[in-house]
């Protein structure tokens, strides 16, 4: 399993931007998302991924509630991103997490945890 680092995510994004296989609209969005990638936001995203990846995979196959303490931490991490860069930063970080950091597709769950952070709606 590949270790995900700030540098490895940067390289993946650069590869997508230089690859002719991906549609131009995706690349435009990716440039906007990439603008929000700082080392601090990356650390926050990795913490969110770590929290959500601690939930057994089987739980994602059924409807489940994120534990309250985890939901509170994920929401506060989202609020930190929002306070640093607004809704655009929150959205950019979310899409980078979903497309480049989370290999298990569990991070999509953070969308419900961020409900009400700035203008984020689940």
Please report whether residue 118 resides in a domain. no
Please report whether residue 121 resides in a domain. no
Please report whether residue 120 resides in a domain. no
Total of domains in the chain: 1
What per-residue confidence (pLDDT) applies to 67? 84
Parent domain of 57? 6-113
Higher pLDDT, 13 or 80: 80
Higher pLDDT, 90 or 22: 90
Q: Which strand (E) or helix (H) includes residue 91?
A: helix 68-96
Spatial contact of 90 and 82, defined as CB atoms under 8 Å apart: yes
Instruction: Quote the CA–CA distance of 34 and 69 in Å, as a whole number.
Output: 30
Instruction: Quote the CA–CA distance of 117 and 6 in Å, as a whole number.
Output: 25
Please report whether residue 40 resides in a domain. yes
> How many percent of the chain have pLDDT more than 70?
89
């Amino acid at each position: 399993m590949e270790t995900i680092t700030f540098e490895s995510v940067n390289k993946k994004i650069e590869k997508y931007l230089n690859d002719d296989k991906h549609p131009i609209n995706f690349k435009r969005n990716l440039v906007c998302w990439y603008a929000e990638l700082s080392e601090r936001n990356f650390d926050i995203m990795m913490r969110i991924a770590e929290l959500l990846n601690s939930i057994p995979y089987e739980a994602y196959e059924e409807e489940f509630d994120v534990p309250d303490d985890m939901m509170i931490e994920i929401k506060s991490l989202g609020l930190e991103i929002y306070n640093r860069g607004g809704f655009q930063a929150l959205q950019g970080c979310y899409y980078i997490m979903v497309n480049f950091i989370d290999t298990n597709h569990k991070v999509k769950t953070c969308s419900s945890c961020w409900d009400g952070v700035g203008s984020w709606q689940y």
